[in-house]
């Protein structure tokens, strides 16, 4: 789930590229990724409540939308901040904007869940949740682990701001590759310390690197026949998605240690990077966006991403709706659609005002 400027899961508007081109398909792709995650979790919640598959488990591989978000995040941060490379004075506004994009809405969700579960709260778990520290138990907010990866990436990218584009990207690449392929430094003994450190040594970070590579390529070169890159990326992604669905790979709280899922950043991240090169390359060459139907959802996608699990889980537990849902599984679409409405409201009332405040505090131009 990306969390950067113009656009992230979600910025206020789609990003502007060279010559003021608006990257609408990038925004739409973010919306598609958010919907994949929402439908995956809707199916998991239905299975938990009723012990049965929803819609034949057709959305069982939707968790790979997270890998799409990571690639988009890597792409956007370089696309937007390339001009800040080698300018140490840009670190402060960069940090302010990143913090005000991620934390206000995330902390709102943490507080909502804390209020609901007040009688059973563990202060240590809640504190770890607020600070995005991985905890040995299932996370207080199920998707918070993805934001921890985002923070690691954002901190790594400071090297580009301090050292310049080439040297900084070399450092970021070394960090990402090291985290992905070096052995985990501590035994998995269940301690908070071991969990927090070992958490970082996972191949999901390769998605950020793939996004950086895609942005680097588009900033340096005019891509010939970009539609072929888009078709190749979409084809490879759909093949991987079909195989993941067909073979029944699932995600759970052990997702980071699952041998199949550890490689999703390669199976889905590289195709997503190719898809971005093709779609963005088309728009930079004057082509019209082709995924416009998802543009608005892309704008709301960070709010949708954070709110959907809490809302769907609690809405499906309300009687008599729960009894009706057991008899008519298609009713699950009602809470799914409700999350879209809630995400739009959260974007307008919380996320966008905080993003705008971050820009003002940072003294940043409109682009981010």
> How do residues 154-181 score in pLDDT, each as one tens digit?
999 999 999 999 999 999 999 888 877 8
Secondary structure (H, E, C), 183-233: CCCCCCCCCHHHHHHHHCCCHHHHHHHHHHHHHHHHHHCCCCCHHHHHHHH
In a domain, 1, yes or no: no
| 140-to-114, 241, 318 alpha-carbon distances in Å | 9, 28, 21
Map residue 22 onto helix, strand or coil: strand
Contact present, 75 and 317 (Cβ < 8 Å): no
The answer to whether residue 116 is domain-embedded is yes
Task: Please choose, from the candidates 6, 131, 48, 24, the residue with its C-alpha nearest in 3D space to the C-alpha of residue 313.
Answer: 48
- Which range marks the domain in which residue 178 is found? 18-362
pLDDT in tens, 334-351: 999 999 999 999 999 999
Question: What pTM was estimated for this model as a whole?
Answer: 0.87
Give residue 251's pLDDT band: very low, low, confident or very high (50, 70, 90).
Answer: low
- Which percentage of the chain shows pLDDT scores above 90? 57
- The span from the CA of 285 to the CA of 279, in Å, is 10
Whether residue 4 is contained in a domain is answered as no
313 vs 19 pLDDT, higher one = 313
- Grouping H, G, I as helix, E, B as strand and the rest as coil, residue 242 is helix
- Residue 367 falls within a domain, yes or no? no
Residue 357 lies in a domain: yes
pLDDT of 200: 76
Beta-carbon contacts of 170 under 8 Å, excluding residues fewer than 6 positions away, are none
- Which residues on adjacent β-strands are paired with residue 22? 16
Residue with tokens 């971050």: 358
Per DSSP, 268 falls in state T
13 assigned to some structural domain? no
Q: What band does 134 get if pLDDT is binned at 50, 70 and 90?
A: confident
More confident position, 119 or 11: 119
Supply 348's token pair. 């307008």
Q: What is the mean pLDDT of residues 50-61?
A: 90
| 126, part of any domain | yes
Highest-scoring range by mean pLDDT, 47-56, 115-124, 130-139, 193-202: 47-56
Indicate if the pLDDT at residue 263 is higher than 90.
no
Confidence check: pLDDT of 12 > 50: no
Q: Is residue 10 a part of any domain in this protein?
A: no
How many structural domains are present in the chain? Answer: 1
| Cβ atoms of residues 69 and 30 within 8 Å | yes
331-338, long-range: CB < 8 A, 24+ apart: 332/42, 332/46, 332/54, 335/42, 335/311, 336/38, 336/39, 336/42, 336/308, 336/312, 338/311
């Amino acid at each position: 789930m990306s969390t950067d400027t113009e656009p992230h899961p979600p910025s206020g508007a789609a990003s502007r590229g060279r010559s003021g081109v608006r990257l609408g398909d990038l925004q739409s792709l973010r919306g598609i990724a958010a919907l994949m995650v929402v439908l995956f979790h809707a199916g998991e919640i239905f299975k938990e409540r009723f012990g049965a598959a929803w819609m034949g488990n057709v959305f069982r591989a939707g968790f790979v939308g997270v890998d799409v978000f990571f690639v988009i995040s890597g792409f956007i941060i370089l696309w937007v901040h390339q001009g800040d490379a080698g300018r140490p004075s840009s670190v402060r506004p960069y940090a302010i904007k990143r913090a005000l994009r991620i934390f206000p809405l995330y902390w709102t969700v943490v507080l909502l869940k804390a209020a609901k579960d007040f009688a059973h709260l563990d202060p240590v778990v809640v504190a770890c949740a607020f600070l995005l520290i991985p905890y040995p138990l299932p996370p207080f907010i199920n998707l918070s682990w993805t934001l921890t990866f985002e923070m690691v990436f954002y901190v790594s990218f400071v090297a580009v701001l301090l050292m310049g584009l080439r040297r900084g990207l070399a450092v970021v690449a070394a960090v990402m590759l090291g985290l992905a392929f070096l052995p985990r430094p501590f035994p998995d003994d269940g301690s908070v310390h071991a969990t927090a450190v070992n958490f970082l040594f996972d191949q999901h970070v390769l998605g950020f690197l793939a996004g950086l590579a895609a942005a680097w390529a588009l900033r340096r070169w005019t891509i010939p026949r970009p539609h072929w890159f888009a078709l190749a990326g979409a084809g490879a992604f759909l093949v991987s998605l079909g195989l993941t669905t067909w073979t029944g790979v699932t995600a759970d709280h052990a997702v980071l240690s699952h041998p199949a899922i550890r490689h999703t950043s390669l199976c889905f991240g590289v195709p997503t990077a190719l898809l971005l090169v093709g779609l963005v390359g088309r728009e930079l060459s004057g082509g019209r966006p082709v995924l416009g139907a998802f543009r608005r959802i892309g704008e709301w996608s960070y709010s949708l991403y954070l709110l959907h699990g809490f809302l769907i889980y609690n809405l499906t537990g309300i009687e008599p709706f729960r009894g009706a849902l057991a008899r008519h599984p298609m009713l699950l679409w009602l809470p799914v659609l409700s999350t879209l409405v809630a995400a739009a409201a959260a974007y307008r009332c919380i996320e966008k005002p905080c993003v705008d405040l971050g820009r003002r505090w940072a003294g940043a131009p409109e682009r981010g």
